[in-house]
């Protein structure tokens, strides 16, 4: 039985905004989605919210939102390919401390996993930027005729689903979860953290969770302070990143237009 290290992506490995929000901003800029896409989410989101808030797991609103991907219905998969092509040429920003921790786990011989509620292609793009072998487990979407249907295959890897995914991975790769590590930054990661013998709560200036910090104090989980920057620096990084994304999204669109000609 081997030890493993499970890392959340958004807020733990990559600073905010989340990868899915960045992709959403790109789709809106291209005009690939509109208000009708979001209106389509209303009924499913209400249904999921009722189920997770009042069901047995009480997973919370984050899990309900993660399960609802109807806003992507009808979006061509080529839009994801175009955005990932731009992403491969840019720096999405990675928190230095977590890269050092990943390197440490690799030197210990631990198997490393990226466990995230973000979309599978986005998680795989992050994995390609990590200089050591990692295994990705993220949310997968159904596709038909080259377009997303808005339906999740299986369940979104968020909340209690992360713990279930860890159990499946432990069986598949002969992992000892009691000897393993997990890193998460939001309250929805509490199931993932509770599933291992070495949970680590990540707190940073970019996106701290007070509820998770409270739970960490109650359960005696260690809290790691990563990527501490000032609010002014955070706002500057966000503005520059948004400006760069808009500029490069325009460049990608122009390249596609020229190629189509």
Domain count, the chain: 1
Neighbours of 260 (CB within 10 A): 6
Average confidence score pLDDT of the chain: 81
CA distances from 159 to 5, 16, 64 (A): 17, 19, 9
Judged against a pLDDT cut of 80, whether residue 49 lies above it is answered with no
CATH number at residue 32: 3.40.50.1000
| Per-residue DSSP letter, 186 | S
The boundaries of the domain holding residue 187 are 4-260
CA 226 to CA 185: how far, in whole Å?
Answer: 10
Q: Which residue has the higher pLDDT, 154 or 37?
A: 154
How much is the pLDDT for 239? Answer: 47
Q: Which two tokens stand for residue 2?
A: 């081997």
How much is the pLDDT for 94? Answer: 76
Residues 6 or more apart whose CB falls under 8 angstroms from that of 53 comprise 59, 60, 61, 64
Q: Which residue has the higher pLDDT, 40 or 200?
A: 200
In this prediction, residues 216-230 reach a mean pLDDT of 81
How much is the pLDDT for 85? Answer: 87
Write down the pTM of the prediction.
0.80
pLDDT tens per residue, range 168-215: 999 999 999 999 999 999 888 999 999 999 999 998 755 568 889 999
pLDDT tens per residue, range 120-167: 999 999 999 898 999 999 999 999 999 999 889 998 898 899 999 999
Residues 6 or more apart whose CB falls under 8 angstroms from that of 192 comprise 6, 8, 115, 162, 163, 166, 182, 184
């Amino acid at each position: 039985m081997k030890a493993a290290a499970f890392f959340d992506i958004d807020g733990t490995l990559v600073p905010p905004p989340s990868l899915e929000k960045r992709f959403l901003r790109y789709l809106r800029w291209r005009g690939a989605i509109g208000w009708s896409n979001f209106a389509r989410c209303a009924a499913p989101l209400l249904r999921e919210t009722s189920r997770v808030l009042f069901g047995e797991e009480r997973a919370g609103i984050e899990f309900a939102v993660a399960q609802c991907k109807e806003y992507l219905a009808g979006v061509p998969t080529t839009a994801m390919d175009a955005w990932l092509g731009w992403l491969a040429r840019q720096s999405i920003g990675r928190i230095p401390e977590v890269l050092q921790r990943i390197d440490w786990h690799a030197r210990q011989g631990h198997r490393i996993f990226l466990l995230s509620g973000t979309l599978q292609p986005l998680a795989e793009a992050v994995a390609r930027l990590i200089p050591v072998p990692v295994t990705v487990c993220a949310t997968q979407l159904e596709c038909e005729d080259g377009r997303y249907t808005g339906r999740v295959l299986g369940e979104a890897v968020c909340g209690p689903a992360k713990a279930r995914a860890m159990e499946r991975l432990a069986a598949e790769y002969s992992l000892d979860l009691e000897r393993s590590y997990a890193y998460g930054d939001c309250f929805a990661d509490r199931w993932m953290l509770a599933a291992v013998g070495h949970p680590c709560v990540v707190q940073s200036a970019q996106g701290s969770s007070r509820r998770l910090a409270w739970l960490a104090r109650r359960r005696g989980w260690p809290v790691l302070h990563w990527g501490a920057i000032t609010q002014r620096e955070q706002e500057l990084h966000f503005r520059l990143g948004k400006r760069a994304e808009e500029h490069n999204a325009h460049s990608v669109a122009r390249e596609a237009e020229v190629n189509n000609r």
